[in-house]
Amino acid sequence: MKLASIKKVLILVAILAVPGFLYYELVHQGKNRYKPLPFFGPKAVASTYHTFHGKKIPDTIYHKLPDFRFVNQEADTLSWRSFRGRIIVLNLFYTKGNNYAVQFANKAMGAYLQSYGTNNMIRLAGLSIDPVTDRPSELKPYAAKLGAKAGKWDLMTGDSTAVYNWINEGLFIDAHQDFDKGERKFIYSNLFVLLDPQHRIRGYYDATNQEALSKLNDEVKVLVAEELRARRAKEPV
């Protein structure tokens, strides 16, 4: 066989082999190569184990946000039961005052609504840090201006103590009220938080940083893939 013919055969074999190799890497090796998102908050070692490559590895107990009872723009009472099985993109806001940071975050949330509005795995939520002012009667017209429909993008409020405890001790985000020359001001870390269906924190993102918002968009997709993978693993063979 001539050298030119041999080269053609080798090229043909390589072309035919590439799809099979990629399929093996993505499907058979993908499980081992998949890197899930990190968990934030305190962790503890569990008394149970899982097996990896024949080795018993202790399970980890990750921080979970406590349950809550907040109300949304329709005056509906919400709790974790209301978000069962959902991935949540959450931010903090307040309605009164000319706050650029809140406006920027609302615009970003509106963009996520456009991207994920038809995805039933994902819910958007805002929690007011001014629950005294931001009652449902105030939130309803505010939500209408944003296009925030309850059940997809819930704007929540509640008892002041419960709200601030949930933010500071559950989300580990600094938020408090202060007074400057008799004027009330809100001091808080303006972040988006990504929560998985098990109520665990999987990411923090600066609500006014476009690079961080793009990262959140990417990591929502990663978390969706992670959740679908976990659901398939639980299906009976």
At 32 the three-state DSSP class reads helix
Q: pLDDT > 90: what percent of the chain?
A: 65
Taking the model in full, what pTM does it have?
Answer: 0.81
DSSP string across 35-57 = -PPP-BS-EEEEEEEEEETTEEE
- pLDDT band at residue 34 under the 50/70/90 scheme: low
Q: How far, in whole angstroms, is CA 136 from its chain's centroid?
A: 24
Q: For 163-198, how does the pLDDT look when each residue is reduced to its tens digit (9 = 90+)?
A: 999 999 999 999 988 887 777 888 899 999 999 999
- pLDDT band at residue 237 under the 50/70/90 scheme: low
* pLDDT tops 50 at residue 6: no
Q: What is the 3-state secondary structure (H, E, C) of 7-21?
A: HHHHHHHHHHHHHHH
Residue with tokens 């690079």: 211
List Cα–Cα distances, 66 to 51, 95, 164, 169, 177, in angstroms: 29, 25, 13, 9, 22
Q: Compute the Cα dihedral for 202, 150, 113, 120 and give only its sign.
A: positive
Q: Using the 8-state DSSP alphabet, how is residue 25 labeled?
A: I
Q: For 8-18, how does the pLDDT look when each residue is reduced to its tens digit (9 = 90+)?
A: 444 443 444 44
Q: Using the 8-state DSSP alphabet, how is residue 80 labeled?
A: G
Q: What is the mean pLDDT of residues 20-49?
A: 64
Q: Which residues contact 135 (CB under 8 A, 6 or more apart)?
A: 157
Q: For 87-124, how does the pLDDT look when each residue is reduced to its tens digit (9 = 90+)?
A: 999 999 999 976 888 999 999 999 999 999 999 999 99
The confidence score (pLDDT) of residue 190 equals: 93
Reference 104, options 143, 146, 163, 138; nearest CA is 146
- pLDDT band at residue 159 under the 50/70/90 scheme: very high
* pLDDT tops 90 at residue 4: no
Fold (topology level) of 66-234: Glutaredoxin (3.40.30)
- pLDDT band at residue 32 under the 50/70/90 scheme: very low
- pLDDT band at residue 33 under the 50/70/90 scheme: very low
